[in-house]
Amino acid sequence: MGLEDAAHPNPHHLRQRKGTTPQMVGRYPDYDVLEQQRHWDDATRRVVLDRVQNTPPFRFFARDEIDTLKAFCDVVTAQDEEPRIPVLAFIDEKLQGGVGDGWQYFDLPADGEVWRRLARGLDDEARKLTFESFARAPEEAQVGIVHRFSKAELSGGVWETVNVGRAWKVVMRYVGQAFYSHPWAWSEIGFGGPAYPRGYGAFGSPHLNEAESWETAENVHYDPVRDVRERGLD
Partner 1 sequence: MLKGSLLMPADNDSAFLLDKHKRGLQNLDRMARYRDEDTVDLVVVGAGAGGGVLAQRLARKGWRVVVLERGTFWDPDRDWVSDEKGAGQAGLYWTDNRIISGNDPIEMGKNNSGQGVGGSMTHFAGYTPRLHPSDFEVRTRDGVAVDWPISYWDLQACFERVERELPVAGQDWPWGDPHSYPHGPHPVAGAASVAWEGARRYGIEMRVGPVSITNGSFGNRPHCIYRGFCLEGCKVNAKASPLITHLPDAIERGCEVRADCMATRIEVDDATGRVSGVVYVTDGEERFQRADAVAVCGYAIETPRLLLHSTSRRHPNGLGNNADLVGRYVMVQGATQTAARFPELLRMYKAPPPEVSSEQFYETDERRGFARGLSIQTIAPLPIGWAEHVISEGHWGQGLREYMRDYNHWTVLGILAELLPQSENRVTLADEVDANGVPVAHFNYNLCENDKAVIAFGKRILAEIWDGAEAQDTLTIDRYAHLVGGCRMGFTPDDSVVDASHRVWGVDNLFVVDGSVLPTQGAANPALVIMALADRAAGLLAEKRA
Residues found near partner 1 in the complex (CB under 8 A) = 1, 5-6, 8, 10-11, 14, 25-27, 40-41, 43-44, 47-48, 51, 75-78, 99-107, 110, 143, 146, 150, 169, 172-173, 175-177, 179-181, 185-186, 188-200, 202-205, 218, 224-225, 227-228, 231, 233-234
For partner 1, give the closer residue by CB, 7 or 129: 7
For partner 1, give the closer residue by CB, 64 or 176: 176
- Contact predicate 93/56, CB 8 Å: yes
User: Which among 10, 50, 63 is positioned nearest to 188, based on CA atoms?
Assistant: 10
CB of 63 to partner 1, least distance (A): 25
What is the rounded distance in angstroms from the CA atom of residue 160 to the CA atom of residue 154?
9
- Contact predicate 175/89, CB 8 Å: no
For partner 1, give the closer residue by CB, 39 or 136: 39
Sequence-separated (6 or more) residues with CB below 8 Å from residue 48: 37, 40, 183, 193, 194
**Which residues sit opposite 15 in a β-bridge?**
25
What is the rounded distance in angstroms from the CA atom of residue 153 to the CA atom of residue 112?
22
For partner 1, give the closer residue by CB, 57 or 199: 199
CB of 153 to partner 1, least distance (A): 13
CB of 215 to partner 1, least distance (A): 8
